[in-house]
């Protein structure tokens, strides 16, 4: 049913319909509404699940790890410092191949303290062996959670669904919430592949000496690469069942005749699409490649759709300090070296710490890269706030 | 696309007002988006909330910078926050104030309307939360969202006594603005 609903509420209702057995989380802005709503849904008797209150995100991660290892469908949600505090467990969950689903309500990282949106938090965990899916709007955020459990359980890989904090989590907009029986049809009950059971004692993720460790990482890497097929299949299956496209690997917008292509991910693509339409009316052909699956990275898809495009600009809400754009590096790596010479791939960092990304700034970015490639620029930087001695 | 910016202080129901307007617009068959711009969630801190209403899906995620309508829940904010920034010259600003519109001496070509929303809220709801009064006045002046839809939205979000009181406040605002 189509509802005018807060993003967090939409996610909570969809997670509940996935019938997790165990939910554990620690409140942190801007993720809090999701787990508050889930706690309420359980409290009202609408979901038969254990909600385990904990003292930290490290504990929340540990609880869902243990629950999943014991055969439960487990879910958690966090943001920013919470995700970083959970970091050690995040790596363990992937190493143990536990199909946990976690929402990252994307938020900036301290210091200085910022409760506002960017994508530095999930980006900091990009190498952990979790599938990372990015939502464009709240419909996709809701839909991705339903897909995430299926992808996780089919691949034995954990899935992080990333949605921009505040911009999506706190936004009211129309979301089509499926019927529980539709979700039941789409997502079969969880059949765990590897259970820790005292009746048949064994351990998982225990100890690998130098004779074995390298292989475990190789296998995990291959599993991440191979999950591409599952992510695509589940997205296609979702489209067939629910009648709308959500998720998948990448999506494109007005790409075919585009002279210049923006690559980005998350909620900012909405503003980008609006800009593309306006520029089209002015006779400019700008296209978009939107990353849905950031990990595994859609390298081949990006190459396939962009191989004839010579002017590309990557816009992202995170930065590798001392290196530059992270998504930009990934996109640059998607093209064979011999082809890179005359292709311009510019890199813009925007929206850090919740800085508004106005359409005018995006227009400035497009007009600038039409003239010359930009190796790295922080969009909307207020030079008046920076003095000589800061640099 | 119609863009609305709501200014107020934490605790005045700014975010709730934006949400209610978006739910009401949805009930009227339109597409709407509402989202907050928190300073940090503290009572008394300046807060903004944004609403967009359109006949098609709202895709843009930028803050509302050139609003058609401004709703100001605390008149004192006009002195400390650049409330009028970006307001369309033919737009409208609705201020919670006991003063007459011209007494505010606002530097804008936009229409100015006032309503003593806190006073009315204290009388009807018993708490100084002006949002229902402001929404009632706003809907009556602009006709942008139907009053019925707002009532339904209020009762959906605040069932029972709280909702009923807010609906009464909404109706009082409607009566007052209709008389003008």
Check whether residue A164 and residue A274 sit in a common domain.
no
Summarised one tens digit per residue, pLDDT across range B10-24 is 889 999 999 999 999
* CB pair distance less than 8 Å for B62 and A271: yes
Of A173, A268, A273, nearest to B33 by CB-CB distance is A173
Torsion region of A204: left, alpha or beta (phi above 0 gives left; psi -120 to 50 gives alpha): beta
Same domain membership, residue A102 and residue A121: yes
The predicted pLDDT at position A27 comes to 94
| Whether residue A73 is found in the same domain as residue A222 | yes
Q: What is the mean pLDDT of residues A345-367?
A: 97
Closest alpha carbon to A158 in A282, A65, A27: A65
What are the phi and psi torsion angles at A313 (to 5°)?
-130, 130
Mark whether A50 and A104 lie in a shared domain: yes
Q: Which residues contact A43 (CB under 8 A, 6 or more apart)?
A: none
pTM of the model: 0.96
Residue A152: CA count within 13 A, CB half-sphere: 36
Q: Do B22 and A173 touch (CB under 8 A)?
A: yes
CB < 8 Å to B10, chain A: none
Q: Are residues A147 and A66 in the same domain?
A: yes
Query: What is the pLDDT, as a whole number, of residue B86?
Result: 97
Tokens for A62?
């540990």
CA distance B13 to chain A (A): 15
- From the list A4, A166, A359, the residue facing B60 with the nearest CB is A359
Region B59-70: mean pLDDT is 97
Q: Which residue in A has a C-alpha nearest to residue B18's C-alpha?
A: A172
Task: Tell me: do A199 and A258 sit in the same domain.
Answer: no
Residues A153 and A260 reside in one and the same domain? no
Inter-chain touch B36–A273, beta carbons under 8 Å = no
Same domain, A111 and A186: yes
Mutate to test the interface with A, among B36, B49, B59, B153 (most CBs of A within 10 A): B59
Tell me, what's the pLDDT at A337? 74
Say whether A4 and B62 touch across the interface (CB within 8 A). Answer: no
The range of the structural domain enclosing residue A350 comes to: 250-390
pLDDT tens for A120-158 read 999 999 999 999 999 999 999 999 999 999 999 999 999
What is the per-residue pLDDT for A6? 98
C-beta atoms surrounding B105 within 10 Å: 9
Q: Report the alpha-carbon distance of residue A106 to residue A317 in Å, rounded.
A: 10
Nearest CA in chain B to A170: B35
**Is A357's CB within 8 Å of B61's CB?**
yes
Tell me, what CATH number does A18's domain have?
A: 3.40.50.970
Task: Write down the H helix ranges in chain A.
Answer: 7-17, 32-43, 57-69, 80-85, 87-95, 120-124, 138-155, 180-186, 213-242, 268-281, 299-306, 326-333, 359-371
Task: Please check whether residues A236 and A111 belong to one and the same domain.
Answer: yes
Chain A residues touching B35 at Cβ < 8 A = 166-167, 170-172
Structural domains counted in chain A: 2
CA distance A363 to A278: 10
Mean of per-residue pLDDT scores for chain A: 96
Each residue of B159-179: pLDDT tens digit?
999 999 999 999 999 999 998
**Banded model confidence at residue A194, pLDDT cuts 50, 70, 90:** confident
Lowest mean pLDDT among A188-197, A376-385, B138-147: A188-197
Q: Shortest CB distance from A271 goes to which of B25, B38, B60?
A: B60
Judge whether residue B7 has pLDDT over 70: yes
pLDDT (tens digit per residue) in B79-96 = 988 999 999 999 999 999
């Amino acid at each position: 049913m189509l509802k005018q609903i807060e993003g967090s509420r939409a996610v909570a209702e969809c997670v509940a319909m996935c019938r997790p057995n165990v939910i554990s989380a620690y409140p942190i802005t801007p993720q809090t509404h999701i787990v508050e709503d889930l706690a309420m849904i359980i409290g009202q008797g609408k979901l038969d699940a254990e909600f385990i209150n904990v003292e930290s995100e490290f504990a929340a991660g540990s609880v869902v790890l243990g629950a999943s290892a014991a055969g439960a469908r487990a879910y958690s949600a966090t943001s920013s410092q919470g995700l970083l505090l959970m970091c050690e467990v995040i790596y363990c969950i992937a190493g143990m191949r536990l199909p946990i689903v976690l929402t990252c309500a994307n938020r900036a990282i301290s210091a200085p303290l910022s409760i506002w949106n960017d994508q530095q938090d999930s980006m900091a965990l990009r190498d952990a062996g979790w599938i990372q899916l990015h939502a464009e709007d709240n419909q996709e955020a809701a839909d991705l959670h339903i897909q995430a459990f299926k992808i996780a359980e089919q691949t034995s890989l954990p899935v992080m669904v990333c949605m921009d904090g505040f911009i999506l989590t706190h936004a009211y907009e129309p979301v089509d919430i499926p019927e529980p029986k539709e979700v039941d049809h789409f997502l079969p009950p969880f059949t765990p592949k590897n259970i820790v059971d005292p009746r048949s004692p064994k351990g998982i993720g225990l100890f690998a000496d130098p004779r074995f460790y390298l292989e475990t990482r190789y296998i995990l890497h291959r599993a991440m690469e191979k999950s591409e097929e599952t992510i695509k299949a589940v997205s296609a299956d979702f489209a067939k069942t629910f009648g709308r496209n959500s998720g998948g690997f990448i999506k494109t917008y007005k790409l075919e005749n585009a002279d210049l292509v923006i690559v980005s991910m998350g909620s900012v693509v909405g503003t980008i699409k609006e800009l593309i339409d306006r520029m089209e009316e002015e006779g400019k052909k700008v296209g978009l490649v939107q990353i849905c699956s950031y990990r595994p990275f859609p390298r081949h898809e990006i190459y396939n759709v962009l191989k004839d495009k010579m002017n590309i600009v990557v816009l992202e809400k995170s930065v590798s300090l001392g290196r530059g754009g992270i998504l930009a590096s990934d996109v640059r790596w998607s093209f064979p070296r011999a082809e890179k010479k005359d292709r311009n791939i510019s890199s813009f960092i925007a929206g850090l710490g919740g800085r508004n990304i106005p359409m005018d700034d995006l227009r400035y970015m497009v007009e600038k890269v039409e003239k010359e490639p930009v190796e790295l620029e922080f969009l909307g930087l207020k030079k008046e706030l920076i003095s000589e001695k800061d640099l | 696309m119609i863009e609305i910016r709501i200014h107020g202080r934490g605790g005045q129901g700014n975010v709730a007002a934006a949400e209610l307007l978006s739910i009401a617009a949805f009930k009227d068959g339109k597409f709407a988006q509402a989202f907050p711009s928190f300073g940090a969630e503290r009572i008394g801190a300046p807060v903004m909330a944004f609403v967009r209403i359109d006949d098609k899906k709202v895709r843009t995620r930028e803050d509302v910078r050139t609003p058609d309508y401004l709703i100001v829940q605390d008149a004192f904010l006009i002195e400390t926050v650049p409330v009028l920034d970006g307001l369309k010259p033919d737009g409208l600003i609705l201020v919670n104030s006991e003063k007459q519109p011209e007494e505010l001496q606002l530097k804008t070509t936009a229409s100015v309307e006032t309503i003593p929303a806190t006073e009315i809220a204290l009388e009807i709801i018993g708490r100084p939360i002006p949002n229902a009064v402001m929404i009632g006045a706003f809907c009556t002046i602009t006709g942008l969202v139907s009053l019925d839809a707002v009532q339904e939205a209020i009762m959906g979000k605040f069932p029972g006594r709280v909702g009923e009181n807010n609906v009464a406040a909404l109706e009082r605002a409607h009566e007052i603005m209709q008389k003008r």
